[in-house]
Amino acid sequence: MTSGLWNNSEVPREDWRCMEVADLRDKQGAPPEILCEMCGSARIRFIHVMEHDNFDETLGVCMDCAGKMTGDTVSPARIEKEVRRKSNARDNWLAGHWYLSARENWVTQVGGVNMGVFPVKFQNGLWSCRIENKFFKGMYPSAEEAKYALFEEFWKTLRR
């Protein structure tokens, strides 16, 4: 027996759609893993966010449950693999060589591309990011969050 929603007769068992697959570690402060809401037993870092026309809430579930809920056992694995690949690339990038420049920017260099995060002038405590001389508009409450945003931009340039 499990405590998951598969046993709850008010929860539809099929015809769900996957809205996204998200890495819980994308967000600072999120728990590194949660239990799948559907089976109640799988510990998941990559959460499949499911929606249903006849159910008010979205559910965060594991890859296997996502397959059962959509009737598609191929796509959940394929999408999760893609998200995992990006997360691994990000984690390696975060763990790479960063140095604090004279102007107190955190800077890294990958494949000849210089990029960094820096405190926003006149906005105490906020951080922003740049790739070479391209400055991005976003402002973030910590250097760490600015790095996550920077990676999103860097990832786009890599995949062009």
Q: Which residues bind Zn ion (CB under 5 A)?
A: 36, 38-39, 42, 62, 65
Q: Which of 47, 41, 31, 34 is nearest to 7 (CA)?
A: 41
In the complex, minimum distance from the CB of residue 144 to Zn ion, in angstroms, rounded to a whole number: 30
Our measurement of the distance from residue 62's CA atom to the centroid of its chain's CA atoms, rounded to an integer in Å, reads 15
In the complex, minimum distance from the CB of residue 66 to Zn ion, in angstroms, rounded to a whole number: 8
- CB-CB contact of 34 with 87 (8 Å): no
Q: Which is nearer to Zn ion, 23 or 145 (CB)?
A: 23
In the complex, minimum distance from the CB of residue 127 to Zn ion, in angstroms, rounded to a whole number: 37
| Amino acid (one-letter) located at 77 | A
- Give the Å distances, CA to CA, from 21 to 3, 25, 39, 72, 78: 23, 12, 17, 15, 11
In the complex, minimum distance from the CB of residue 60 to Zn ion, in angstroms, rounded to a whole number: 10
In the complex, minimum distance from the CB of residue 54 to Zn ion, in angstroms, rounded to a whole number: 20
Q: Which is nearer to Zn ion, 65 or 146 (CB)?
A: 65
- CB-CB contact of 79 with 21 (8 Å): yes
63 dihedral zone (left: phi>0; alpha: psi -120 to 50; beta) = alpha
Q: Which is nearer to Zn ion, 62 or 150 (CB)?
A: 62
